[in-house]
């Protein structure tokens, strides 16, 4: 039997797709929406009239929401269209400090706590009507407060529990400070996507005076927690030289980070 690929499989969707962009994520949400509209028009077009694929092809997947504020600074979430039976994805950037609101006649910039409160308001306004709710949070809220060192709060674990309690099924984040925080919600989906390749690609494509060689490029770790990422990047840079020298790639990368001159000589890294 021939191996089936994603191209030859047309899974029945959970429900009509809906995307909600929180304050500060409007531009990103627009890009996602335009990509999906274009992509879905070329996928499974033969099922366009099937009830099982209802809502699969639309002009936009964005859901109209608003978060008005009272003069006191208090807010509320409002869903301006029906989302019954939908598969909802909420995009939320809790560290966007360019967003603001008026409180007692003064302009107040939103903190991560304000963004997270708005996220909970919108989820609450959904009233459990969608079939599934997923949250895409590029930088995890309170991700750096992932463990307790003394008498202090476990804010990240509490935030994850709050989202799950409100009905969130999937939480998707990028490069979490410590992905073991998912232990707070062991029966729910927690996706930690590593954007290492995308960051290196963007760096190479956008920095004109970048020279990727041992004389001009140095990979450093800002702290012990990022040391494994430093080694990971070094592995990809020296992999062909390590294989040619007959050395384990991981071992060679570690020695390069440690500035081992013997290993550097054996790898025969090119000058310039």
pLDDT (tens digit per residue) in 63-119? 999 999 998 889 999 999 999 989 999 999 999 999 999 999 899 999 999 999 999
> pTM score, two decimals?
0.75
pLDDT on residue 9: 54
pLDDT tens, N- to C-terminus, the chain (272 residues)? 455 555 555 566 778 899 999 999 999 999 999 999 888 877 766 666 666 666 677 889 999 999 999 988 899 999 999 999 899 999 999 999 999 999 998 999 999 999 999 999 999 999 989 999 999 999 999 988 888 888 889 999 999 999 999 999 999 999 888 888 999 999 999 999 988 888 888 988 998 888 877 777 777 766 666 667 677 777 777 888 888 888 888 888 878 777 788 888 888 776 64
CA 71 – CA 51 distance, rounded (Å): 46
Cα angle at 38 between 34 and 42, to 5 degrees? 160
79 φ/ψ angles, rounded to the nearest 5 degrees: -100, 120
- What is the C-alpha to C-alpha distance for residues 249 and 236, in angstroms, rounded to an integer? 9
Query: What's residue 125's pLDDT?
Result: 95
Estimate to the nearest angstrom the gap between the alpha carbon of 222 and the chain centroid.
Answer: 21
Rounded CA gap, 193 and 172, in Å? 7
Place of tokens 């079939």: 131
Q: Which residue has the tokens 């999937």?
A: 170
CA dihedral 158→164→168→174, nearest 10 degrees, is 40
> What pLDDT was estimated at residue 12?
66
Sorted by sequence, the CB contacts under 8 Å of residue 251 that are 6+ apart come out as none
Neighbours of 127 (CB within 10 A): 11
pLDDT, residue 235, reads 77
Question: What is the pLDDT at residue 56?
Answer: 73
At residue 49, the pLDDT reads: 66
What pLDDT score does 268 carry?
79
């Amino acid at each position: 039997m021939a191996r089936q690929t994603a191209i030859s499989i047309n899974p029945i969707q959970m429900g009509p797709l809906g995307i909600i962009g929180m304050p500060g994520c409007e531009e990103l949400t627009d890009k996602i929406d335009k990509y999906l509209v274009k992509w879905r028009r070329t996928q499974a077009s033969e099922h366009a009239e099937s009830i099982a694929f209802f809502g699969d092809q639309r002009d936009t997947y964005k859901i109209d929401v608003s978060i008005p504020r009272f003069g006191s600074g208090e807010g509320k979430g409002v869903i301006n269209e029906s989302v019954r039976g939908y598969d909802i994805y909420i995009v939320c950037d809790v560290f966007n400090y360019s967003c603001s609101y008026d409180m007692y006649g003064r302009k107040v910039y939103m903190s991560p706590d304000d963004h997270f409160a708005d996220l909970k308001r919108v989820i609450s306004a959904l009233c459990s009507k969608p079939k599934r709710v997923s949250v895409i949070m590029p930088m995890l809220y309170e991700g750096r407060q992932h463990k307790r060192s003394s008498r202090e709060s476990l804010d990240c674990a509490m935030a994850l529990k709050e989202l799950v309690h409100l009905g969130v099924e999937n939480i998707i984040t990028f490069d979490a400070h410590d992905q073991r925080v998912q232990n707070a919600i062991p029966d729910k989906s927690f996706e930690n996507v590593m954007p290492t390749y995308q960051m290196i690609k963007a760096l190479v494509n956008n920095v004109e005076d970048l020279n990727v060689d041992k004389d001009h490029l140095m990979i450093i770790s800002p702290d012990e927690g990022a040391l494994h990422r430093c080694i990971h990047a070094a592995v990809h840079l020296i992999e062909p030289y390590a294989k040619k020298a007959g050395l384990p790639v991981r071992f060679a990368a570690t020695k390069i980070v440690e500035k081992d001159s013997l290993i550097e000589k054996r790898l025969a890294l090119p000058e310039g």
